[in-house]
Structure 1
């Protein structure tokens, strides 16, 4: 039987993989952000109901391989994927994007969560948040001496002490220069997402001598195979597809070699 793939996504890397899937494969999204309309695979939007619900879906849909290409900070989804694969008796592969590493001139200060972040943030006046949606639930607690700029996928009205920018990467160095100059940031708050799409903010912070409060990555579960790059994962999927094609050829139909 041809292996049917369930791809868990929501990132640019996942979209690149989804464009190489087959018509019987499924690309699953939580529902945030835009959904591409030109994908060759099936698209599913919404949750599964935890690891047990995902395992039931894997069995019902006859999925033979789950590929976790979610964000490095989507720890709960990754944990559910690994457990569901074990429950269903199938393999789980994961794209584990390499984190950014500090360079000469960087002033990175690692923090482990929101409470620790607030303590580190207190001396600053004009922070630039690039953590996604999390700061939106704290807009009513902004200290009087601070004005926040929050960039995330969703549009949001903000308030008198915060501006919310709805935008999706990749972000250019020129665009980040202009934004930093306009908003006069004195600190950047970031997840260590890795990849090139959102790295320009770190280059500008380095050039301007600004500190970066870097949210530490959560632990992720062990899976059957991990890949550092999208290209490596795609190459493995191509090998799997070739093996599937070979199994589909009826016995005796191959030409014997002279």
Structure 2
């Protein structure tokens, strides 16, 4: 049986890890909560780029690398694809589809932080749901704006900014209440495609406010790409690579 190295970073990755055999390794960068109840091994920390990851794959006898990192973790995905090539093992990837705007949505796609800041200029009370990146720019907040930044770890407020620590899933009523409390007039979001965080889009639609969407990065091609965790699990089960194959039927 191939030994599996699963690079995690999204909720679906944890669901996959719960089905892996005891010799598999679930790898996390170290941000957020580290699970302690998995049947497989857990590793926390980096590898030193593609070459370091390739050495780890070879040293540990890994036969299959699975990239289930965040859709915006472009560098990690690039390292994973390159490391698999160097080590001569297949790389599978979970490529979750992005959200699509619907009737009544006002989505405005931006390429990078510079485009985002320019697009934010007309607004006063943005809600950032980009993770930690806005924390590096709190000193740049324009005088007419007050930012609310939601990320995994709360921090003390700074002038013209509130930093909220929270982890999804987020209920629709809670998203409505948050936007009402901060008088949000624009939502800033990645297009992660996660069901755990999509209610913010409906709340923005109901308020009639625009959504500035950071464009998804290009990700490398791999041997097999899956649109859902369940599809990936089914393929693992078909290859006899799961701890409990019966859990993956359907």
Equivalent position SS for 1:236? helix
| Residue of structure 1 equivalent to 2:157 | 158
SS in 2 for 1:64: strand
Matched, 1:79 2:78: yes
Task: Name 1:112's counterpart in structure 2.
Answer: 111
> What secondary structure does 1:128 align onto?
strand
1:242 Cα deviation from its structure 2 partner:
6.0
The 1-side partners of 2:121 and 2:129 are apart by: 17
Task: Measure, in 2, the Cα distance between the counterparts of 1:16 and 1:243.
Answer: 12
Contact (CA 8 Å) 2:128, 2:188: kept in 1 or not? Answer: yes
Give ranges in structure 1 of 5+ residues lacking alignment.
245-258
Contact 1:139 1:158 in 2 (8 A): no
Q: Secondary structure at the match of 2:240?
A: helix
Counterpart CA distance in 2 for 1:149 and 1:166 is 11
The whole-number CA distance in structure 1 between the counterparts of 2:241 and 2:78 is 29
Q: How many residues align?
A: 243
- Indicate if the aligned counterparts of 2:20 and 2:242 stay in contact, CA closer than 8 A: no
What RMSD in Å do the two structures reach over aligned CA positions?
A: 1.2
Counterpart CA distance in 1 for 2:6 and 2:241 is 19
Query: Quick one: distance in 2 between partners of 1:160 and 1:142?
Result: 9
Determine the structure 1 residue equivalent to 2:248.
none
- State the TM-score, normalized to the length of structure 1: 0.92
Whether 1:44 aligns to 2:47 is no
**Which of the pair has more CA radius of gyration?**
1
The TM-score normalised by the length of structure 2 is 0.95
- DSSP-derived class of the 2:158 partner: coil
Match of 2:94 in 1: 95
C-alpha distance after superposition, 1:19-49 (max 9, x if no partner): 1111000000000000111111100000000
Partner of residue 167, structure 1: 166
1:251 aligned partner = none
Give runs of ≥4 in structure 1 deviating > 4 Å.
Answer: none
- Tell me, what secondary structure is at the counterpart of 1:151? strand
Secondary structure (helix, strand or coil) at the match of 1:241 reads coil
Unaligned segments of structure 2, at least 5 residues: 244-250
